[in-house]
């Protein structure tokens, strides 16, 4: 308002100057005319200034009623909606990208697991084929060694593999007049049986020691019975005719040969024979063999492992694997 007051100052000063030079009537007319002109200019200036002032400034109600204001708000809302859609699209795009990455990770993990399973299956198949091949070789070996046999027991009655099925057997070929090797091997065989019999009931293996004479001329049932009793009541002895003994020895690939008779006594001779102890399974099949180099403890441990494998294979056969 300072600028608007300046013309008034001019009005007050100018008449004073005019009063000194002109008469009163003319002066009043000119003053009146000048004041009207100044008032007119002043009113027009004030009106113009009022028109230039935004009466809706800080008047939100007026702004809402303004069409320009409505256009601005609509534009803002549209822009806000567009921005929201854009952000949602970007979020969904990011989520889609993350889901794609996650999907690829799942796919990669699935492929990895699948490949591992395939490798495991191939490995298991390979092992099974190897086991089957070993089993076939084992069957072939069993076909070459062992089989059904029948001799005479210590009671003079026919008895053989058929009556002994269902038990593990340790079978040794020898003769009752053997000076040292046979007694040592028979004692070792009895020790193996005692070790296995001393196991807990759940781990106990029903095994029988068997002695078969390769000297039928001298080893009668009574003689074999007496001989077996010297070692253990667990030891079962068998003998038979020359034909029977030769047949059984051939079945187990046991070499035996009667030596020369050097003394006056016709029964004074030595029999040379194979020194091997055979392990027969409950089915009556050859399973393993042990020479003189094995101790009783070693043989007992080996038999335990063999029996466990046999039982596992037997369960597989029952289940159809």
Residue ranges for the known binding site for Cu cation are 178, 182, 273
d(CA 304, CA 310): 10
275 contacts 292 by C-beta, under 8 angstroms: yes
Q: What is the DSSP string of 131-153?
A: HHHHHHHHHHHHHHS----EEEE
Q: Which residue positions form the known binding site?
A: 178, 182, 273
Closest CA to 245 of 149, 144, 143, 142: 149
Tokens standing for 116?
């591992």
| Residue 3, φ and ψ in degrees, nearest 5 | -65, -35
220 contacts 226 by C-beta, under 8 angstroms: no
What's the sign of the alpha-carbon dihedral 30, 31, 33, 34?
positive
Cβ atoms within 10 A of the Cβ of 261, count?
Answer: 12
Q: Which residues contact 227 (CB under 8 A, 6 or more apart)?
A: 176, 211, 219, 237
d(CA 98, CA 100): 5
Q: Is 278 helix (H, G, I), strand (E, B) or coil?
A: strand
């Amino acid at each position: 308002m300072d600028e608007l007051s300046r013309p008034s100052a001019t009005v007050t000063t100018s008449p004073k100057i005019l009063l000194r030079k002109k008469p009163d009537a003319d002066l009043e007319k000119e003053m009146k005319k000048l004041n009207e002109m100044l008032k007119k200019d002043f009113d027009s200036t004030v009106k113009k200034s009022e028109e230039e002032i935004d009466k809706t400034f800080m008047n939100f109600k007026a702004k809402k009623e303004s069409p320009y204001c409505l256009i601005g708000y609509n534009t803002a809302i549209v822009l806000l909606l567009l921005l929201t859609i854009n952000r949602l699209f970007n979020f969904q795009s990011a989520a889609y990208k993350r889901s794609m990455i996650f999907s690829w990770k799942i796919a990669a993990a699935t492929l990895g697991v699948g490949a591992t399973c395939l490798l495991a299956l191939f490995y298991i198949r390979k092992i099974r084929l190897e086991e089957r091949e070993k089993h076939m070789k084992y069957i072939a070996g069993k076909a070459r060694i062992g089989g059904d046999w029948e001799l005479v027991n210590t009671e003079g009655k026919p008895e053989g593999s058929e009556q002994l099925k269902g038990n593990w057997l340790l079978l040794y070929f020898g003769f009752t007049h053997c000076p040292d090797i046979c007694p040592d091997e028979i004692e070792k065989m009895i020790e193996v049986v005692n070790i296995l019999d001393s196991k807990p009931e759940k781990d106990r293996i029903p095994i029988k020691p068997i002695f078969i004479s390769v000297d039928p001329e001298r080893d009668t049932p009574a003689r074999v019975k007496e001989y077996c009793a010297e070692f253990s009541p667990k030891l079962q002895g068998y003998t038979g005719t020359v034909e029977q003994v030769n047949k059984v020895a051939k079945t187990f690939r046991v070499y035996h040969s009667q030596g020369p008779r050097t003394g006056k006594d016709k029964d004074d001779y030595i029999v040379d024979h194979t020194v091997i102890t055979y392990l027969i399974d409950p089915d009556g099949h050859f399973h393993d063999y042990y020479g003189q180099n094995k101790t009783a403890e070693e043989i007992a441990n080996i038999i335990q492992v063999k029996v466990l494998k046999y039982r596992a294979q037997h369960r597989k056969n029952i289940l159809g694997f």
